[in-house]
Amino acid sequence: MSFEQYGAPGYPAQPSTRPGVVTAAAVLAFVVGGLNVIFGLVGFGVVASVGGAYAFLIILNLAFAALLIWGGVQAINGRNGTILVIAAGISILLQLISMITYFSTGSLIGLVIPILILVFMLQQPSRNWIRSRGGKTF
């Protein structure tokens, strides 16, 4: 019995490899964040003549996309899991509001993905791995 494999007596073993759920959550955040950036930049071109509230919503969308991507980077490196959890929670809230105002298949998919990110990041292996690397998590 080696202590490296099982941990010292009385102490749990420190996970050395990143759990797949952390990688999956970060990749989903990168994909959703990247798509939001693309749609946001295209949106600027489409509604440039309209301005006002639409421009504000596009800027808000771009800022949220940056938060998802940054949260994904922090999570995949084991530095901070709370950013991605908060970003996923905000995304769920925004998608619910979107579904109330205008329901579409896209809004349903937009709801499922952040729920998956949230579930993946709140699993015990994710939390243990981030904490073992000195990171913050819920």
pLDDT digits (tens, 9 = 90+) for 55-109: 787 888 889 899 999 999 999 999 999 999 999 999 888 888 878 877 777 778 8
C-alpha distance from residue 71 to each of 65, 68, 105 (Å): 10, 5, 26
Please state, in angstroms and rounded to a whole number, the distance separating the CA atoms of residues 46 and 49: 8
Q: Which amino acid is at 7?
A: G
Check residue 40 and give its pLDDT: 84
Check residue 50 and give its pLDDT: 65
Residue 87 · residue 29 · CB < 8 Å: yes
What is the value of pTM for the model shown? 0.82
Check residue 115 and give its pLDDT: 96
CA angle, corner 71, sides to 29 and 125, nearest 5?
Answer: 85
pLDDT band at 20 (very low <50, low <70, confident <90, very high): very high
* pLDDT surpassing 70 at residue 2: no
